[in-house]
Each structure stands twice: as structure tokens, then as C-alpha cells.
């Protein structure tokens, strides 16, 4: 079994991978693998990325498009977490609720979030409700499933001890199941956030008048490849920031967990 890499080794390999990718990108341009219009230089993409913060494209600057996307993401993902986590924990404790919800949930969770786009567009048009619904469709299943699995895998000794002390069902969920299921819950939130963010961009390609997805599709129509790639970079950066924040939330909750 290979030994884990040290921080220095990990950083070195990361830098080498990034430099190798950039070298291949520059080489592809120097040998004219594709026309410059469709494959700009890396430094040109970076310059466009920075310029978009003060040069509006599709009616807004890059930070305004990002904020529009984040508002939609906060609505859809927040709703998925607020409903999915408590419902998953409750299903893990109440067998009758599990039996009621699971058949419908299993039927709906296999519908791809993008399949909700026509329905969302008909209901909400280009307003915030359509993308929020699509984000919810992508983020809700992982939030519920992981909370449910975390609740079902709680050590039976904790449950028996709480029952002996006369803990009611509400406190059993909040004081026993939730703390024990935190790692599983955070894993579900991270997966849900990733799926929700990707679903948002897909939704904005069709059912939004602003946001990162709208910026990319408008740039594609104008054959502005550097703007498309700059938008993709912004999407990736925001996704990484969301994941880092969820990791910090996990460490915070685990730090204050009593068992």
C-alpha cells in the first residue's frame, strides 16, 4: 500500500500537473491545432476573466452574473438542505414515515435535474423560481439519502441509552441522531452542493436572463471563446469555495460534537 503524500509532495505534484496542462495548451496553439478564435492563449483567457469584472457582458459584469447565480443557488440548495436533512433523519427514526416517503422519493430521484427545465420554464419563466426548482431537484436527493443513512447507522447503544433516560422522539432526532450523523450529513451536503451548482448552470443556459450559465451561452452565440472559458473558470472557482465552506462547517460541527 502506498504511503500518503506529504504536503510538500502533494503541492509539487499539483504544480507539475498545472504546468503540464498549460504547456500542452500553449503547444496546441503554437502548432495551430485549432484556429485562435476557438482556442485563445491561457494568458488571454486570464486577461478576459479580469476584464469582465469591469466590462459588462450580456448586460452585467462577471461579479454581477456570479451574484445572480449564487442567489438562485442559495434558494434551491438552502431549501434542499432545510427539507432533506430533517426529513432524512425523521425517516431514519420513524419507520412509518420511511414507508410513506420512500416509494415516491425513489420514483422522483432518478429524474435528471435537467429534465425539470421545461417544466420550470413553463411555471416560472426566466424568474428565480425556475432555476431554484432545478437546483432543488439536483441537491435534494443526496441531502435526504445521506441524512437517512447517517441516522440508520447510529450506534444502537446511544439509542438504548437515550430511551432508558426517557428521551422523546424530537430530542432523539436532534440530540442523538443528528450529532452522530454529522459526517454523513455533510457528505450529502457536499454532493448536493456540487450537483446543485452544476444543475444551476444548466438551468441558466435555458431558463434565465442572467447568471453564469446565461453569460456562457451568450458568449457562445457571439463566438467569444475567451469569455466562455473565463465563465467556466469562474464557475469552477465558486464551486471550490462552496465545497471549502462545507468542509469548514463539518470541522466546526465535529469539534462541538459531544460523542
CA–CA separation, 78 and 159 (whole Å):
29
If phi > 0 it is left, if psi is from -120 to 50 it is alpha, else beta; for residue 20 that is alpha
How confident is the model at residue 92, as a pLDDT?
87
How confident is the model at residue 85, as a pLDDT?
93
Against a cut of 0.85, is the pTM above it?
no
CA–CA separation, 121 and 209 (whole Å):
12
How confident is the model at residue 208, as a pLDDT?
65
Show Cβ contacts of residue 28 under 8 Å, excluding neighbours closer than 6 positions: 34, 39
Taking Cα atoms as reference points, which of 59, 54, 61, 52 lies closest to residue 230?
A: 52
Query: Could you give the angle at the alpha carbon of 47 between the alpha carbons of 222 and 35, nearest 5°?
Result: 50
How confident is the model at residue 4, as a pLDDT?
67
How confident is the model at residue 5, as a pLDDT?
64
pLDDT per residue rounded down to tens, the chain (259 residues)? 556 667 677 778 888 888 888 888 888 878 877 777 788 888 888 999 999 999 888 788 998 989 988 888 999 999 999 999 999 999 988 888 988 998 888 888 888 887 887 887 777 766 667 788 888 989 999 999 999 998 888 877 777 777 777 777 787 777 788 888 888 999 999 999 999 888 877 777 766 677 888 888 888 888 888 899 999 999 989 988 988 898 888 888 777 665 5
The answer regarding whether domain 40-255 maps to CATH 3.10.20.30 reads no
pLDDT tens for 227-257 read 999 999 999 899 889 888 988 888 887 776 6
Count CA within 13 A, CB hemisphere, residue 4.
Answer: 2
In angstroms, how far is the first alpha carbon of the chain from the final one?
Answer: 31
Is the CB of residue 80 less than 8 Å from the CB of residue 192?
Answer: yes
CA–CA separation, 149 and 180 (whole Å):
11
CA–CA separation, 208 and 222 (whole Å):
18
How confident is the model at residue 207, as a pLDDT?
62
Is the CB of residue 201 less than 8 Å from the CB of residue 40?
Answer: no
Kindly list the domain boundaries of the chain, sorted by start residue. Answer: 1-33, 40-255
How confident is the model at residue 81, as a pLDDT?
94
Amino acid at each position: 500500500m502506498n504511503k500518503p503524500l506529504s504536503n510538500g509532495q502533494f503541492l509539487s505534484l499539483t504544480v507539475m500537473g498545472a504546468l503540464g496542462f498549460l504547456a500542452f495548451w500553449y503547444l496546441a496553439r503554437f502548432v495551430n491545432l485549432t484556429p485562435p478564435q476557438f482556442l485563445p492563449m491561457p494568458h488571454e483567457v486570464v486577461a478576459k476573466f479580469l476584464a469582465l469584472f469591469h466590462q459588462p457582458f450580456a448586460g452585467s459584469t462577471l461579479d454581477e452574473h456570479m451574484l445572480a447565480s449564487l442567489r438562485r443557488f442559495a434558494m434551491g440548495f438552502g431549501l434542499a438542505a432545510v427539507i432533506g436533512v430533517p426529513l432524512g433523519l425523521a425517516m431514519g427514526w420513524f419507520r412509518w414515515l420511511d414507508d410513506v416517503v420512500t416509494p415516491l422519493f425513489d420514483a422522483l430521484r432518478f429524474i435528471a435535474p435537467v429534465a425539470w427545465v421545461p417544466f420550470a420554464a413553463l411555471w416560472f419563466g426566466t424568474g428565480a423560481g425556475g432555476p431554484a426548482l432545478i437546483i432543488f431537484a439536483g441537491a435534494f436527493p443526496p441531502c435526504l439519502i445521506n441524512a437517512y443513512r447517517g441516522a440508520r447507522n447510529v450506534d444502537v447503544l446511544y439509542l438504548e441509552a437515550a430511551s432508558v433516560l426517557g428521551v422523546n422522539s424530537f430530542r432523539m432526532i436532534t440530540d442523538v441522531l443528528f450529532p452522530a450523523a454529522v459526517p454523513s450529513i455533510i457528505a450529502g451536503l457536499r454532493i448536493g452542493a456540487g450537483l446543485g451548482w452544476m444543475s444551476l448552470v444548466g438551468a441558466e443556459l435555458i431558463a434565465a436572463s442572467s447568471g453564469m450559465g446565461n453569460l456562457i451561452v451568450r458568449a457562445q452565440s457571439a463566438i467569444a471563446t475567451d469569455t466562455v472559458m473565463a465563465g467556466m473558470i469562474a464557475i469552477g472557482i465558486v464551486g471550490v469555495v462552496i465545497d471549502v465552506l462545507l468542509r469548514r462547517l463539518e470541522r466546526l460541527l465535529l469539534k462541538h460534537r459531544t460523542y
